[in-house]
Structure 1
Amino acid sequence: MALTVTSINTPSYASSYGHLSQHLQESDALKFLDNVLQPQYGDRALDFGCGTGNVTLDLARRIGSDGFLVGVDPDDDRIRIAQNRLQSYDNVKIIRGSISEATAFAPYDIINANHVIHWIPRGEHEEYLRKIFASLKPGGRFGFTTVHSLKGFIRDLSASQYENSYDSFLSAIGWSFSSLAYWETLLKKTGFEISYGSEEERVSGVFPDERAFLEWWEATCVGHFSAAQMAPEALMTKYDLKRNEPIPIHARHVDVVAKKPKKPNKGVRTFKADTLVE
């Protein structure tokens, strides 16, 4: 079964997302790479859900000329931007697809998934993790950062376009936010050992002004949020925000690094060559 990733992207969304992500997801991802996942020179790596290649470029620099890197994303427009961004790297391959296409270049030392795993429907999480597990070398590491829940201004603003229902917003876009406990349980079930796990509320990043934030959020939500209208004045007042001034984004984040044991765990089902084996 092919893994499902919801997307109604456009070239305009891809361009806006790539340009504005530096204010939020990119800075958050680089902290995760440097302080938690810590890719090594010469690693064979996969950047799953590479988008426009912002983080992929930084990962390429970390693994160096002796490493090999694959970036994979389901969206044509974002892939084209990523390919242009990394065209000077002979040891980097950017492909359209999902984890199934990326297995052709396995096994990997590390797999990175930055703010992408919540796009995968909950019913497909276990299959996704089993394919990640099968794509790693023994001792290889899978690191991801994702969101458990949006907080504050961004949560209320998103809900305001869905009759003030946050759940309706999440349902429309198809995101599946989950807790650290949920991911740790599922990772262990699929054979991983947990090397690092953290769940905390933090400022994900700061946008220079309301317009930059709205443009980025519409691109991130691929059409399920409209930036045509400014944020309601009542919400700006509630969170003590002002027009044409910085907008901080709050969320409850989950950061995880899971390791594939050097020796297989007995009784754990894994994927091998697209076949489920004991």
Structure 2
Amino acid sequence: MSTLPVLNNADMYHHYSDVQFRDGCSVIHEMLKPKRGESILDLGCGTGRLTMQLASLVGASGRVVGVDPDSCRIAVANEQLKKMDDIPVTFQLGSIREVLPLGPFDGIFSNFVFHWFERAERAEMMQQMYDSLKPGGRLTFLLNTNQTQPNVIVRDIFRLTEPNLDEESASGIKMDVPSVWLQHCSDAGFVVELSEVFMRECMEPNLDRLLQFIAASVPNVQCSKLTEDGLQELNSRYKTGNGDEVACSVRLLKVLARKPEEY
């Protein structure tokens, strides 16, 4: 069986989400580009690691609000905030609906969140983000898009642990083609300035470390249910040939959209 440590999901995510942290940092610096004095919303902030990055860029004259529906992750974020010097960050439990009154914002940033939205709620959520921005405000997001390659480790884990469920039902991740997300942006009134689909390889020193990251980022996955045969299959499928090192690829979409200026 897997030797994953016994941690709650919020602590696991805080300790093992380095890959998503690096992805988020690249979107912040290359697409959102926060300026001193701006107000930024981190939608789906998790344990707040990227929220702190945003705060370092807007400075003391700016303001960053992190919101997340997971009370355990918000608790971790607030504990980290206590260790910091006075910085312009507040964390709030909830969703875009709860932070609408705190706007308008200069920018909204969201990292690996939108693919968790229920499809029936996406249009409303996108419109609420639009309404939360100042004229000229930016929306940047990164998410998992449809996975077409045959070897997808999350899919394999659910095949081995939940064989009677399809991947979406088991994981809760609702992937779609990039054009669906771009249409949601346009329908809400955004002008899409940049969109890019790319493959990102996640490389870890061994299978256990990769499973730790997956268990942290996909709460429904139960890596502890993997049998020895299942672990051996994953090892053989995802080993790189360099010792115990394993790697998997994911297909991602990143978007920069803007609310038009008022004339």
Tell me the TM-score normalized by structure 2. Answer: 0.87
Out of 76, 79, 90, the residue aligned to residue 74 of structure 2 is 79
Q: 1:79 to 1:243 in 2, by over 3 A?
A: farther
Gaps of 5+ in 2: 1-5
Q: Residue 175 of structure 2 corresponds to which residue in structure 1?
A: 177
SS in 1 for 2:224: coil
Q: Residue 16 of structure 2 corresponds to which residue in structure 1?
A: 20
Are residues 1:195 and 2:190 paired?
A: no
What is the aligned-residue RMSD (CA, Å)?
2.2
Any residues of structure 2 matched to 1:46-65 within 5 Å, and which? 46-65=41-60
Tell me the TM-score normalized by structure 1. Answer: 0.83
Q: Residue 160 of structure 1 corresponds to which residue in structure 2?
A: 160
Q: Residue 3 of structure 2 corresponds to which residue in structure 1?
A: none
Q: 1:75 to 1:40 in 2, by over 3 A?
A: same
Cα distance in 2 between the residues matched to 1:164 and 1:242: 32
Contact 1:218 1:225 in 2 (8 A): yes
SS in 2 for 1:78: helix
Are residues 1:142 and 2:139 paired?
A: yes
Question: Which structure features the higher share of helix residues?
Answer: 2
Q: 1:80 to 1:102 in 2, by over 3 A?
A: same
Q: 1:245 to 1:74 in 2, by over 3 A?
A: same
Cα deviations across residues 203-238 of structure 1 (Å, max 9, x unaligned)?
1x3233211221222232223332343653233223
Cα distance in 2 between the residues matched to 1:219 and 1:117: 17
Contact 1:170 1:176 in 2 (8 A): yes
Cα distance in 1 between the residues matched to 2:105 and 2:130: 10
Deviates more, 1:225-234 or 1:89-98: 225-234
Contact 2:238 2:247 in 1 (8 A): no
Any residues of structure 2 matched to 1:25-40 within 5 Å, and which? 25-40=20-35
Deviates more, 1:207-216 or 1:50-59: 207-216
Gaps of 5+ in 1: 1-9, 265-278
Deviates more, 1:227-236 or 1:38-47: 227-236
Q: Residue 221 of structure 1 corresponds to which residue in structure 2?
A: 218
Q: For residue 179 of structure 1, report the CA deviation from its aligned partner.
A: 2.0
SS in 2 for 1:52: coil
What percent identity do the matched residue pairs reach? 30
Cα distance in 2 between the residues matched to 1:240 and 1:20: 19
